[in-house]
């Protein structure tokens, strides 16, 4: 009997699908499995990445405005290029929509796309529109390497420090509050008190500048925090064939996440480490490069959250003497389980 997509889970499904592909052309510098592909085209090096966002899975109109949806659809792709140390350049937008959707809703999605594109110097150069039973925003993004070249997931070495930009957990906390706020006074009050949590879900800021300066500062490996910090650092370790120890208490948790965790009957570290959708950068870099990294990042906060280890153990040190298996954290699109 054949397993279903949901039974396999996202990551094993992807592995099985990639196994169907043949040997890539020698012009494929980085193939599937990193934040973006890197290819040689017409004598140049280009980065390419794509994401498919669905109403009801990745966003809900009502919780996000159409313009937020447009912004985020491009932002998550910009984040992938940022995580390679690349410069985003051109986007293709495919939009699916029910026939009954007001044209103004779709125009607002485009306004959000364009606002994000303008902010990060990207041109929207084409795409497709089709009839669908719900809103679908499918983006493909092309970029160029920054002057320091490409940073993949696979260059981490034992002894490297693991850094993360900004603060974590805000997007997951904001999304949980937004979904609950209509029926839950406490959630509604938390939303009012911490408006940046809703913003973190609705309008993430891709770390484009930070990815470029981290590459220049000598980052060995990078990834954007989309599946959940622990899971994403795990991806670096898998690709680099290393282990890692993360210090849960060192993870910079966004303002308000502790209160949201309490409301949700969870704890702030779990929400932050497992939550996903933050679009911060996790960076593996030698300890001696830390000063250069910090000063290059300027006003963007950065925190040391762990160290790359020999072997392949991936453990979270909660700071209370116990350990948590990282493989139990992060988001699986198909099973819908945290």
Q: Which of residues 199-258 bind a second copy (CB under 8 A)?
A: none
CA distance 58 to 40: 32
Tell me the closest approach of the beta carbon of residue 146 to a second copy, in angstroms.
11
Closer residue to a second copy, CB minimum distance, 77 or 270: 77
Residue span binding a second copy (CB under 8 A) among the ranges 141-149, 156-164, 178-186, 201-209 = 141-149
| Residues of span 70-99 touching a second copy by CB under 8 A | 89-90, 92-99
Tell me the closest approach of the beta carbon of residue 80 to a second copy, in angstroms.
9
Question: In three state form, how does the secondary structure of 220-261 look?
Answer: CEEEECCCCHHHHHHHHHHHHCCEEEEEHHHCCECCCHHHHH
Tell me the closest approach of the beta carbon of residue 299 to a second copy, in angstroms.
27
CA distance 230 to 266: 16
The C-alpha angle with vertex 222 and arms to 289 and 330, in degrees rounded to 5, equals: 130
Give the DSSP H or E segment for 211: helix 208-216
Q: What is the DSSP letter of 203?
A: S
**Residues near 268 by Cβ (< 8 Å), separated by ≥ 6?**
169, 253, 257, 258, 261
CA dihedral 191, 269, 272, 182 (to 10 degrees): -30
Tell me the closest approach of the beta carbon of residue 154 to a second copy, in angstroms.
15
CA distance 337 to 92: 31
| Residues of span 22-81 touching a second copy by CB under 8 A | 22, 24-25, 27-28, 31-34, 36-37, 39, 41-46, 48-54, 56-58
Among 61, 132, 239, 307, binds a second copy (CB under 8 A): 132
Closer residue to a second copy, CB minimum distance, 39 or 261: 39
Neighbours of 298 (CB within 10 A): 10
| Residues of span 108-127 touching a second copy by CB under 8 A | 110-111, 113-114, 117-118, 121, 123-127
User: Judged by CB under 8 A, does residue 291 bind a second copy?
Assistant: no
> Is residue 23 classed exposed, middle or buried when 0-12, 13-18 and 19+ CB atoms within 10 A define those classes?
exposed
User: Judged by CB under 8 A, does residue 287 bind a second copy?
Assistant: no
> Which residues is 163 bridged to in the sheet?
283, 304
User: Judged by CB under 8 A, does residue 104 bind a second copy?
Assistant: yes
Number of residues that bind a second copy (CB under 8 A): 88
Annotate each residue in 318-337 with x if it binds a second copy (CB under 8 A) or - if it does not, as one string.
---------------xxxx-
Q: Whole-angstrom distance between the N-terminal and C-terminal Cα of the chain?
A: 26
Closer residue to a second copy, CB minimum distance, 161 or 332: 332
Tell me the closest approach of the beta carbon of residue 19 to a second copy, in angstroms.
8
Tell me the closest approach of the beta carbon of residue 219 to a second copy, in angstroms.
21
């Amino acid at each position: 009997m054949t397993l279903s997509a949901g039974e396999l889970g996202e990551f094993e499904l992807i592995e099985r699908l990639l196994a169907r592909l043949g040997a890539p052309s020698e012009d494929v510098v980085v193939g599937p499995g990193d934040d973006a592909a890197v290819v040689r085209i017409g004598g140049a090096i280009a980065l390419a990445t794509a994401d498919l966002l669905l109403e009801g899975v990745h966003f809900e109109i009502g919780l996000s405005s159409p313009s937020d949806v447009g912004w985020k659809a491009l932002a998550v792709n910009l984040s992938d290029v940022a995580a390679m140390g690349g410069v985003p350049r051109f986007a293709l937008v495919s939009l699916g929509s029910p026939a009954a959707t007001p044209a103004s809703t779709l125009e607002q999605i485009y306004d959000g796309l364009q606002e994000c594109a303008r902010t990060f110097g990207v041109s929207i150069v084409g795409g497709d529109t089709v009839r669908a039973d719900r809103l679908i925003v499918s983006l493909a993004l092309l970029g160029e390497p920054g002057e320091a070249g490409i940073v993949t997931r696979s260059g981490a070495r034992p002894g490297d420090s693991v850094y993360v930009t900004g603060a974590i957990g805000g997007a997951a906390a904001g999304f949980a509050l937004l979904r609950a706020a209509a029926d839950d006074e406490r959630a509604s009050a938390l939303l009012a008190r911490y408006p940046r949590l809703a913003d973190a879900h609705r309008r993430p800021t891709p770390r484009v500048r930070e990815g470029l300066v981290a590459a220049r500062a000598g980052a060995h490996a990078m990834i954007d925090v989309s599946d959940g910090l622990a899971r994403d650092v795990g991806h670096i370790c898998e690709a680099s064939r290393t282990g890692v120890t993360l210090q849960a208490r060192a993870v910079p948790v966004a303002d308000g996440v502790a209160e949201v965790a309490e409301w949700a009957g969870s704890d702030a570290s779990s929400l932050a480490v497992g939550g996903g959708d933050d679009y911060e950068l996790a960076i593996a870099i030698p300890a001696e490069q830390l000063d250069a990294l910090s000063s290059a990042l300027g006003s963007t906060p950065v925190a040391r959250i762990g160290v790359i280890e020999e072997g392949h153990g991936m453990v979270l040190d909660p700071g209370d003497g116990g350990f948590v298996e990282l493989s139990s954290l992060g988001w699986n699109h198909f099973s819908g389980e945290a």
